[in-house]
Homo-oligomer: A and B are copies of this chain.
Amino acid sequence: MTEGPRRSRSGAATIEEVARAAGVSRQTVSNVLNAPHRVRTETLERVSTAIRELGYQPDQSARSLRSGARRTIGYLAPVDDPLDPNPLMAGFLEALVDAAGERGQRVLLFRPAPPAADPVAAIDELVAARQVDGLVLADVLTDDPRIAHVARLGVPFASFGRTGPEEPQHWADIANDTAMAVVVRHLAARGHRRIGYLGATEELPWMAARRAGFLAETRRLGLSAAPLPDGSGTAAVRELLRGPDRPTAFATGSDLLALDVYEAVRAEGLAVGPAGVAVTGFYDTPLCRHLHPPLTSVRLPLRAIAAGLMARLLGQVHGEAVPTTGLELPTELVVRASSG
């Protein structure tokens, strides 16, 4: 006689107990759950009742061991820079958890263990312990080592942010350049002819794409563009506002950067708004509504992105044919008093 595992607590019902209660065999219960069409209606009802009454749910570990499916996907949390916090992290995670839940998957959160903070090692651990069916990666950079690694490992994955041309195109992303082009058109329609731009750093692909979109669209419309160099802050904006041919509008790569512009505009004795200097942000964080005037911003389709990622990821998991191109989704411009 061996000693069973430490019963966690309240002896949860097993499939055996349900079978006994319903007067059928274990396998019939299993069939009711996994292949209901192979069970007679009458039996199905009887078993279902027993399941409900006993509050039975299959033990996920046993199920995973036997079937190979973990019903869990891993999300590698970006080791984020406190100086450049990703403002959508929380909102995206929620959307991801919901999208996963809709498809019967749970989300296992993991991070590289400090101090090494090696994402590749963290991935290896999770995969070796067979804890997940696949991975979702975010904040993907060009030539991201994480992508190269999971691709080589053959682990199903999907990324928020584009992968390199050599890698599998299992990604979803917003159209950063188009998003900014829409901003420019919005400002142009309000009569602005010279527009400033404040980004963060070209090293982040999404920031680079926004700047490129800004430049391309201003050129296309024959507007005058005044992009500030990477890492510029309030001081640079003020200088631009003091100079000749002052911009009447500013587009920015994030809501926090827009706040810098607000401060600069006021410091120069000007007003933020269509009558003074129009300003736009990015991400549509809660900050936008607390500003005076409220900030026009770009809202991301986080739920659609999460759904797209899950579809691509589970396609791989189930061995279906997966698209060979990424999924690019449009953003939504939320116009508020800062620009319109």
Contact = CB atoms under 8 A, between A and B. Distances in A.
Nearest to A130: B59
Contacts of A67: 5-6
Contact of A292 (B7, B127, B234): B234
Interface string A66-91: 11111010010100101101000110
B93 A109 contact: yes
Contact of A90 (B90, B125, B234): B90
B106 A107 contact: no
Contacts of A242: none
Interface stretch (A140-148, A196-204, A259-267): A259-267
B106 A153 contact: no
Contacts of A151: none
Nearest to A285: B85
Given A65-B65, A110-B106, A286-B82, A60 B131 contact: yes
A270 interface: no
Q: How many copies does the complex hold?
A: 2
Given A5-B67, A113-B101, A10 B108 contact: no
27 contacts: A9-B153, A9-B154, A9-B155, A10-B153, A10-B154, A12-B127, A55-B124, A56-B128, A58-B129, A60-B129, A61-B130, A77-B94, A85-B90, A85-B286, A90-B90, A98-B111, A101-B113, A106-B131, A107-B108, A107-B109, A108-B108, A108-B109, A109-B109, A256-B287, A256-B290, A259-B290, A259-B291
Contacts of A113: 98, 101-102
A49 interface: no
Nearest to A79: B94
Contacts of A107: 108-110
Nearest to A80: B94
A17 to B, nearest CB: 13
